[in-house]
Amino acid sequence: MRQLSIGVLLIAVLLGSALVFAQQQNPATPPATPPAAAAEQEKPQQSGTKFITTVNLVDVLFTVLDRRNKLVASLEKQDFQVFDDNVLQDIRYFSKQSDLPLRIGMLLDTSNSIRDRLKFEQDAANNFLFSVLRPRKDEAFVMTFDDEPQVIQNFTNDTGALRDQILRTRSGGGTAVYDAIYEACEKELSHPPRPPGDQPDVVRRVMILISDGEDNLSTHTRSEAIEMAQRTSVVIYSISTSTQWITIEEPNKEHSGNRKYHLTEGDQILKSVAEETGGRVFFPYHVDDLDQSFQDIGEELRNQYSLAYNPTNHALDGRYHKIRVDTPEHKGYQVRARRGYYARTNATIPAPAGSVK
C-alpha cells in the first residue's frame, strides 16, 4: 500500500508539472496590459469600431526677402520662429525647397467691367507664362470668369496652346471673382498633374489672378475663397487691371515708376486674397511694368522654405488660426507666408492638402 501511495503521488506531481508547462507555452489568458491599451484592443471586438489617429500637422510654405526685396535662400531652421494665434510652436519639420515643378492657374477676368483692359490682361497673362513656364517641367491651365468660371485650357506645358486660348477671350457679363478662385482651387489645383517619371509627388501650386476685383455675382464669399486657397496650399498673385489712382512718375526721377496712391474696393479685394495666401498684388499701368515682377515671382516660387508644426492650442472646432513666421535674428527680413488656416471640425473627414492633417 505504501508503494502504491507513493506511485499515485508521483503520477500527480508529473501531471501537475505537465499542466504548468502547457500553460506557459499556450496561456489561456493574455498577458496583463495597461487599462488604456486593453480598452483599445477590446472595443473593436465588441462593436467593430475602427479607431483612427489624427495627426495634427500644419504645413507652412514661405519665402524670405531682405530690406531690398531680394530673395534670401540661405537661412536654416534655427533662424525661424512660428506662432499659432501668438503662441510659439515647436518646428517639427523644416526644409529648403528649390526648383520644384510649378502648377499654375491663370485666371482672367472677362467681365464687362474690364472691356477696355482686355488686351492688357491677355498680354500680361502670356508674358507671365512665357517668362515662368518651363517646358517638360511646369504646367498651367487657363480659366476665364464673368457670370461664372470656365476652364478654356486644361493643364498643359504647351505655351502655344495656352497663348492661343488666351487670345481668343472676349469680354461680357458680370463678375464672379470668388467663385473662380474657389473652383480653381477645389477642382483644378487641389489635384494637379504629378511630375513625370519617378520624381517625388511635390509641386508648387500658384494662381495668377488678373482682374479689377469687383465681384457682383459670386455664390461664395471672399472668406470661403481664401479658405479654399489656404486648404489647398495655393499662393495667389493678383494683378489689378484698374488704372484709377495711379500716378505715372517721370522716368528721370529717383524711385521712378508707376505708383498706386489710393486703392479701389476691388484693389483691396485683390490685395486681401494675395496677402492671406502668401502672395503679392501688383498695380501696373503698362504690361512692361510687370516684366521684373514676373521674374521675381518665378524666382520666389523656385526658392522657398517649408516648415511644419503640431499646434499646442489645437481643437477640432473649425476656428480660424493666425500663423506668423518670424526671423528674430534678422529684423530687417520680411517673411511672406499664408496668414492662417481653418482647423478641422470632424477628424473623420480627410483634410485637403495644405490644411491641418
Confidence label for 213 from pLDDT (cuts 50, 70 and 90):
very high
Query: What pLDDT, on the 0 to 100 scale, is given for residue 81?
Result: 98
Residue predicted with more confidence, 131 or 357: 131
Q: Are 306 and 94 in contact (CB under 8 A)?
A: yes
DSSP state at residue 82: E
Cα separation, 311 vs 231, whole angstroms: 16
pLDDT digits (tens, 9 = 90+) for 39-84: 333 344 445 565 555 568 999 999 999 999 899 999 999 999 999 9
In CATH, the architecture of 100-301 is: 3-Layer(aba) Sandwich (3.40)
Query: What pLDDT, on the 0 to 100 scale, is given for residue 354?
Result: 43
Query: What pLDDT, on the 0 to 100 scale, is given for residue 356?
Result: 43
Q: Residue holding cell 498684388?
A: 281
Query: What pLDDT, on the 0 to 100 scale, is given for residue 50?
Result: 58
Task: Please choose, from the candidates 197, 118, 126, the residue with its C-alpha nearest in 3D space to the C-alpha of residue 158.
Answer: 126
Query: What pLDDT, on the 0 to 100 scale, is given for residue 346?
Result: 62
Query: What pLDDT, on the 0 to 100 scale, is given for residue 9?
Result: 46
What's the average model confidence in pLDDT over 21-42? 37
291: part of which helix (H) or strand (E)? helix 291-301
Residue predicted with more confidence, 131 or 21: 131
Residue 178 grid coordinates: 470668388
Q: Identity (one letter) of the amino acid at 189?
A: L
Query: What pLDDT, on the 0 to 100 scale, is given for residue 30?
Result: 38
**Residue 9 vs residues 1, 6, 20, 52: alpha-carbon distances, Å:** 12, 5, 17, 56
Residue 320 dihedral angles phi and psi, to the nearest 5°: -80, 130
Q: How many CB atoms lie within 10 A of CB 288?
A: 10
Query: What pLDDT, on the 0 to 100 scale, is given for residue 287?
Result: 93
Q: Residue holding cell 520644384?
A: 100
What's the average model confidence in pLDDT over 250-276? 81
* Residues whose CB falls within 8 Å of the CB of residue 189, separated by 6 or more in sequence, listed in order: 103, 105, 205, 207, 232, 234
Q: How many CB atoms lie within 10 A of CB 34?
A: 8
Cα separation, 100 vs 202, whole angstroms: 7
What's the average model confidence in pLDDT over 135-151? 96
Query: What pLDDT, on the 0 to 100 scale, is given for residue 55?
Result: 60
Mean pLDDT score across all residues of the chain: 84
Does residue 172 carry a pLDDT above 50? yes
Does residue 211 carry a pLDDT above 70? yes
**Residue 18 vs residues 9, 102, 113, 179, 266: alpha-carbon distances, Å:** 14, 71, 93, 77, 87
Q: What share of the chain is helix, strand, coil (3-state, %, to 5)?
A: 35, 25, 40
pLDDT digits (tens, 9 = 90+) for 299-332: 999 899 999 999 998 788 888 999 999 999 999 9
Residue 3 dihedral angles phi and psi, to the nearest 5°: -65, -35
DSSP secondary structure of 159-204: HHHHHHHHHT----S---HHHHHHHIIIIIISSPPPPSTT--S--E
Residue predicted with more confidence, 313 or 294: 294
Largest CA distance in the chain: 129
Cα separation, 223 vs 269, whole angstroms: 11
The pTM (predicted TM-score) of the whole model is 0.80
Cα separation, 270 vs 223, whole angstroms: 13
Does residue 246 carry a pLDDT above 90? no
Query: What pLDDT, on the 0 to 100 scale, is given for residue 232?
Result: 94
Residues of the chain with CATH 3.40.50.410: 100-301
Q: Residue holding cell 526685396?
A: 69
Cα separation, 61 vs 323, whole angstroms: 11
Residue 61 dihedral angles phi and psi, to the nearest 5°: -105, 135
Does residue 224 carry a pLDDT above 90? yes
